[in-house]
Amino acid sequence: MQGKALNGVSRFNTVTTCNKTAVIVVAAGNGVRAGGDIPKQYRLLAGTPILTRTLARFLDHPRVAIVLPVISDIDRALYAVAASAFIGHAKLSDPVVGGATRQASVRAGLEAVARSEPDAVLIHDGVRPFPSHRLIAAMIDALAESEGAVPALAVSDTLIRAAEARIVGTVDRTGLYGAQTPQSFRYATLLAAHRAATSELPGREFTDDASLLDWRGKAVTVVTGDADNIKITVPEDFIRAERIIGAPASTQVRTGIGYDVHAFTDGNHVMLGGVRIPHLRGVLAHSDGDVALHAATDAVLGAIADGDIGTHFPPSDPAWRGASSDRFLAHAAKLARTRGAVITNLDITIVAEAPRIGPHREAMQLAIAHAASIDAARISIKATTSEKLGFLGRREGLAAFAIATLAFPATDPI
């Protein structure tokens, strides 16, 4: 292409020629390289289809009059979902069905939008959800002095030529740019170029519209693109896209279960959930015998698949004699944090005929939350008896079950 000087925002507010701008959003591809089993333009990005995000950027832009999506005939149901956010939107045209190639799809869009008689047309990839307000305006402005414009960024990586996994040469990157979209054109010029290409070069597929205009000998202006204006192609692009929109990173959820029993013995209190509760009996234990904290500790260790409480605090080790059990849970929670995990929930059920748990529930939540360094709202304490059945029913001891739910950063992005 014949690039003029880069002209990002320099000609803001100088447009006089292009009053009516249409945008053709090309979304007819069936690419699944980004993973999943539906075309990537319909995949969810932080809960919203990518195409919905792309369309919104243009529908919200005050200098865009018409937005026309080009889709695949077999994706009508997916499109209906993606466009449901814009029902009744005056700027959004009904989609047209694309062709076998990108070029054919753009041509279909250009012909369909003719009845609206636009002066300018922007051609945009449906899987580029982040064209900035500035860039869209700059692309329209560029048409004041040019028949076509392309947003591009200078190539910063060293370029190599390779064959069969070996370098066969390096490429001088001077003057090399990576082309983005939206590319902008005077409507009549681009329509004529497409019609000419179809009739004069029927077998040739141009990779984008700027190169098609270049083939016609028309000057195409290069406008500074945006680094965030990425095209979502491979799974890693979803991670980057989530970062751009500030969405929480994808997570994996894992759970762990814990169970503990201690027998009653002589004494005057029990420790439960980190709370000292006066009682007619004590518990027989190497540590303080807190079944709720022991079960919770094992649940957290289970979720991170790192042994059990006996692995980390062997009963044979005198260091843990009479130990306060909040240290065990604090250690397990720290192990989870070092793996990047967050304890999202600890659900504990204490099984005992006595003592009564209800009056101490809130104090237990606070003590456990403190030990695990999480919010008390994430701690659940439940209590039940065993209806006088079995060893618990005979008041020979007490038991606790716990389930921990942990959120891990996803290593597999999809």
- Closer residue to Mg ion (CB): 41 or 297: 297
- Closer residue to Mg ion (CB): 241 or 301: 301
Q: How far is the CB of 329 from Mg ion (least distance, A)?
A: 12
Q: Specify whether the backbone of 222 is left (phi greater than 0), alpha (psi in -120 to 50) or beta.
A: beta
Q: How far is the CB of 240 from Mg ion (least distance, A)?
A: 46
Q: Please report, as ranges, the residues that interact with Mg ion according to CB under 5 A.
A: 260, 294
- Closer residue to Mg ion (CB): 147 or 260: 260
Task: Point out which residues pair with 151 in neighbouring strands.
Answer: 223
Q: How far is the CB of 292 from Mg ion (least distance, A)?
A: 10
> Degrees (nearest 5) of the Cα angle 370, 373, 378?
85
Q: How far is the CB of 260 from Mg ion (least distance, A)?
A: 4
Q: How far is the CB of 310 from Mg ion (least distance, A)?
A: 9
- Closer residue to Mg ion (CB): 107 or 279: 279
Q: How far is the CB of 294 from Mg ion (least distance, A)?
A: 4
- Closer residue to Mg ion (CB): 57 or 294: 294
- Closer residue to Mg ion (CB): 4 or 276: 276
- Closer residue to Mg ion (CB): 4 or 286: 286
Rounded Cα gap, residues 225 and 6, in angstroms: 10
Q: How far is the CB of 231 from Mg ion (least distance, A)?
A: 55
- Closer residue to Mg ion (CB): 123 or 292: 292
Q: How far is the CB of 262 from Mg ion (least distance, A)?
A: 6
Residue in the shown chain whose Cβ atom is closest to Mg ion:
294
- Closer residue to Mg ion (CB): 63 or 269: 269
Q: How far is the CB of 400 from Mg ion (least distance, A)?
A: 9
